[in-house]
């Protein structure tokens, strides 16, 4: 099974690690640039995107991570992780950075504050039955550019997308007992496609 690096600077990285281990993946926590050596994929978890942005810079991980993903390293980003992958981020702080490897425009906290959190059953390409998506201070994908496939919609807006080696979601798949979204990521690594075969 692949070795998956989970960015462990801030946010819900433990929940991602547990989901991946359920699928028999080898998990490595990423805190320093050298931790990325030899991983087959990387997860950017939910959390506070501005804090994660600052920690990526101060740890020295940002440049190495960005280059690895640009060179083809498979990446999964959820909630704040989606923000860190997006090419354009609306309502971002001036000092906030993004890897700019996913051709989408997102708006931070587009679904509202913590009190506005909700769950919704959504249909996701590649999954046979609906997935219960957990939205917590989630970003809204406002625009999808060329080369990006929409995998799921909610209330008229994309909430899961894929582009070449990147899979991303507005919601938190790691906060449910359903590991099928993580399975899609592992399938992407093994086959080069995020949307083949129902799960």
CATH number of the domain bearing residue 15: 3.40.50.880
Residue 114 in tokens? 């913590």
Catalytic residue ranges: 79, 172, 174
What confidence category does residue 199 fall into, taking pLDDT thresholds of 50, 70 and 90?
very low
The answer on pLDDT for 14 being more than 90 is yes
pLDDT of 180 higher than 80: yes
> What's the longest Cα–Cα distance across the chain?
42
**Pairing state of beta strands 149-154 and 140-144?**
unpaired
Taking residues 104-123, what's their average pLDDT?
80
Highest mean pLDDT among 25-29, 93-97, 186-190: 25-29
Q: Between 196 and 70, name the one with better pLDDT.
A: 70
**Single pTM value for the model:** 0.91
Residue 23 lies in a domain: yes
Q: Residue length, the chain? A: 199
**CA atoms in the 13 A half-sphere facing the CB of 36:** 22
What is the DSSP annotation of 32-95? SGGGGTT-SEEEE-SS-HHHHHHHHHHHTHHHHHHHHHHTT--EEEETHHHHHHEEEEET--TT
Counted domains in the chain: 1
Distance CA 25, CA 84 (A): 23
Alpha-carbon gap, residue 134 to 111, rounded angstroms:
12
Cα separation of the two ends of the chain:
18
Does any domain span residue 7? yes
Question: Which residue shows structure tokens 């860190």?
Answer: 84
- Specify if 197 maps to a domain: no
* Placement of tokens 């547990």 in the chain: 18
Domain that holds residue 61: 3-191
In this structure, is residue 198 part of a structural domain?
no
Structure tokens at 25: 């993946």
Give the pLDDT score at 73. Answer: 96
Note the pLDDT of residue 198: 33
Question: Domain for residue 47, yes or no?
Answer: yes
- What does pLDDT average to over the chain? 90
Q: Are strands 102-107 and 140-144 parallel, antiparallel or unpaired?
A: antiparallel
pLDDT tens, position by position, 60-111: 999 999 999 999 999 999 999 999 999 999 987 878 889 999 999 999 876 6
Query: What's the confidence (pLDDT) of residue 29?
Result: 97
Q: Is residue 196 part of a domain?
A: no
- Structure-token pair, residue 29: 């926590």
Residue at 28 is within a domain: yes
């Amino acid at each position: 099974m692949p070795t998956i690096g989970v960015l462990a600077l801030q946010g819900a990285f433990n929940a991602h690690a547990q989901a991946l281990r359920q699928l028999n993946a080898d998990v490595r926590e990423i805190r320093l640039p050298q931790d990325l050596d030899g991983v087959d994929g990387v997860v950017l978890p939910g959390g506070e995107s501005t804090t994660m942005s600052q920690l990526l810079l101060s740890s020295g991980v940002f440049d190495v991570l960005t280059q690895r993903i640009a060179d083809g390293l498979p990446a999964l980003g959820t909630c704040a992780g989606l923000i860190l992958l997006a090419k354009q981020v609306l309502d971002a702080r001036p000092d906030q950075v993004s890897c700019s490897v996913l051709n989408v425009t997102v708006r931070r906290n587009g679904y509202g504050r913590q009190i506005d959190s909700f769950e919704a059953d959504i249909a996701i390409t590649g999954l046979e039955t609906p997935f219960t998506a957990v939205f917590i201070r989630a970003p809204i994908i406002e625009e999808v550019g060329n080369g990006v496939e929409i995998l799921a919609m909610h209330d008229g807006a994309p909430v899961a997308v894929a582009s070449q080696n990147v899979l991303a979601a507005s919601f938190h798949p790691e906060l449910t007992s359903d590991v099928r979204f993580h399975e899609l990521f592992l399938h992407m690594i093994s086959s080069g496609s995020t949307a083949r075969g129902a799960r």
